[in-house]
């Protein structure tokens, strides 16, 4: 097989990264997909057992903040393209340990940019650095309006500030050095393999174990939810068709208030677990709010839809059903990731 492209995916053992790696390994047998991941608490090679022996797939354990290691990795492999997902990704953790977010999300991104630049600066032709970002960089919306690619950055949490900073550096490398980048900013993802610190998998796990469902504040916060496999398809689309120097917003056209989403989840869980109607809802407990909690995120995804032809394929009810089924059928995955350090995180966060 003639190798057409060497692609480095960072953070490929994480939630979204593992779906991207699988899609690329299967869809592009003539690409060599290198998955670089430090395997933090959020990285899990169990997410990729079905493709780990594919001839076009390689796993590299390594840290994007290790500058000499990253520099050498690029010198040895000379990757044609990078899809950069590695990050500290959980807002609550960024509130307790902001520096870890600066280190990975800002410094780590800088180190990758420098390595990519020094590899190709003689000619960036046919090269591409694709930076995966979040809608949280835009800050919060009021009760109306949508984030467009022109909305100014106004991050409110250490996580979103670190992602905003990394976006700025990527753009600055484009302007200053001509580095060929593309960025996408996506809304909240859900689906299989998401670590149970985020709302949906945390609540699924708690319902299974009849534990309280800690809704922050009054629950009247709104997020725009996208099924993770649709995000992976969007990333494939932007990677191949996105215009260099452009940003694309990706969203589900699917806004939910947390409390309404949690009630829908409870209903579906009761049905699937054959529990009495209302028994999961009885677990809802309103707890102290998240500091700096953004009221509402909602994405205008018309640019990627109209210019690149992508739109979500899965309805929320369908995607949520598939997600619940996956967690119920993969209880060993869930118990593996919730043993050990997860317990001390949970105690610290929720008491
Ligand atoms: P995740 O936390 O599930 O996975 C992150 C991965 O990065 C893990 O495998 C982890 O081991 C790896 N990693 C962390 N630090 C590293 C380091 N220093 N070196 C190498 N690898 C490291 O995150 P996710 O939810 O899959 O998010 C992936 C990307 O998408 C992030 O950049 C995030 O900001 C962005 N994003 C996430 C969402 C969402 O809803 N989850 C939405 C929009 C954008
Ligand atoms: O918008 C994209 C972002 O979505 C990504 O960039 C982040 O990586 C990802 O973590 C996610 O951020 P959120 O903070 O929106 O996701 P989270 O699942 O933590 O919370 C979703 C909503 O649910 C939010 O309003 C806070 C609330 N929540 C969350 C948890 C964990 C609760 O009410 N209780 C909880 O225990």
CATH of the domain at 180: 3.40.50.720
Residue 101 dihedral angles phi and psi, to the nearest 5°: -75, -35
135 catalytically annotated: yes
The tally of domains found in the chain comes to: 1
Q: What pLDDT, on a 0 to 100 scale, did the predictor assign at position 340?
A: 84
> Is 178 part of any domain?
yes
Classify residue 115: in a domain, yes or no: yes
104 alpha carbon to ligand 1 midpoint, in Å?
A: 10
Please confirm, yes or no, whether 136 is among the known catalytic residues: yes
Q: Which of 159, 190, 227, 297 is catalytic?
A: 159
- What is the pLDDT at residue 59? 98
Is residue 323 in some structural domain? no
Full domain range(s) for residue 229:
5-190+225-254+296-315
Q: How far is 91 from 168, CA to CA, in rounded Å?
A: 19
For the chain, the C-alpha Rg in angstroms (whole number) is 20
Confirm whether 59 is domain-assigned.
Answer: yes
- Asked if residue 83 is part of any domain, the answer here is yes
Please state, in angstroms and rounded to a whole number, the distance separating the CA atoms of residues 255 and 330.
28
Pocket (CB within 6 angstroms of ligand 2): 89-91, 134-136, 187-188, 198-199, 202, 214-216, 221, 223, 258, 290, 297
Instruction: Supply the pLDDT for residue 198.
Output: 98
CB 110 within 8 A of CB 67: no
Which residues is 57 bridged to in the sheet?
33
**pLDDT value for 2:** 79
Q: Is residue 341 part of a domain?
A: no
Mind listing the pLDDT tens digit of every residue in the chain (351 residues)?
Answer: 778 999 999 999 999 999 999 999 999 999 999 999 999 999 999 999 999 999 999 999 999 999 999 999 999 999 999 999 999 999 999 999 999 999 999 999 999 999 999 999 999 999 999 999 999 999 999 999 999 999 999 999 999 999 999 999 999 999 999 999 999 999 999 999 999 999 999 999 999 999 999 999 999 999 999 999 999 999 999 999 999 999 999 999 999 999 999 999 999 999 999 999 999 999 999 999 999 999 999 999 999 999 999 999 999 999 999 999 999 999 999 999 998 889 899 999 998
Determine, yes or no, domain membership for 140: yes
User: What is d(CA 161, CA 312) in angstroms, rounded to the nearest whole number?
Assistant: 27
Helix (H) or strand (E) holding 256: strand 255-257
* Domain membership flag for residue 327: no
């Amino acid at each position: 097989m003639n190798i057409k492209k060497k692609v480095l995916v960072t953070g490929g053992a994480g939630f979204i990264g593992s779906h991207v790696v699988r899609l690329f390994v299967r869809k592009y047998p003539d690409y060599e997909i290198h998955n670089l991941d430090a395997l933090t608490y959020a990285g899990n090679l169990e997410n990729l057992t079905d493709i780990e022996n594919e001839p076009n797939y390689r796993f590299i354990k390594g840290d994007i903040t290790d500058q000499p290691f990253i520099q050498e990795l690029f010198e040895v492999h000379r990757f044609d393209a990078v899809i950069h997902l590695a990050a500290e990704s959980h807002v609550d953790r960024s509130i307790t340990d902001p520096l870890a977010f600066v280190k990975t999300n800002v410094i780590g991104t800088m180190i990758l940019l420098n390595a990519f630049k020094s590899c190709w600066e003689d000619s960036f032709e046919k090269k591409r650095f694709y930076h995966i970002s979040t809608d949280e960089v835009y800050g919060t919306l009021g009760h109306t309006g949508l984030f467009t690619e022109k909305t100014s950055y106004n991050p409110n949490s250490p996580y979103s500030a670190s992602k905003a900073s990394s976006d700025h550096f990527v753009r600055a490398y484009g302007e200053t050095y001509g580095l060929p980048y593309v960025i996408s900013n996506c809304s909240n993802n859900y689906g299989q393999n998401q670590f149970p610190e985020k709302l949906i998998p945390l609540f699924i796990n708690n319902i299974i174990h009849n534990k309280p469902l800690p809704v922050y504040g009054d629950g009247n916060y709104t997020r725009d939810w996208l099924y993770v496999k649709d995000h992976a398809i969007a990333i494939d689309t932007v990677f191949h068709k996105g215009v260099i120097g452009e940003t694309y917003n990706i969203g589900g056209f699917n806004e939910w208030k947390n409390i309404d989403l949690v009630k829908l989840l409870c209903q579906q869980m009761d049905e699937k677990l054959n529990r009495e109607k209302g028994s999961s809802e009885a677990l809802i407990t309103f707890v102290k709010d998240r500091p700096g909690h953004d009221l509402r995120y909602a994405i205008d995804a018309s640019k990627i839809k109209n210019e690149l032809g992508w739109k979500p394929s899965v309805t929320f009810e369908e995607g949520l059903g598939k997600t619940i089924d996956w967690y119920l059928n993969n209880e060993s995955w869930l118990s593996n990731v919730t043993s050990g350090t997860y317990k001390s995180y949970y105690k610290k966060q929720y008491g």
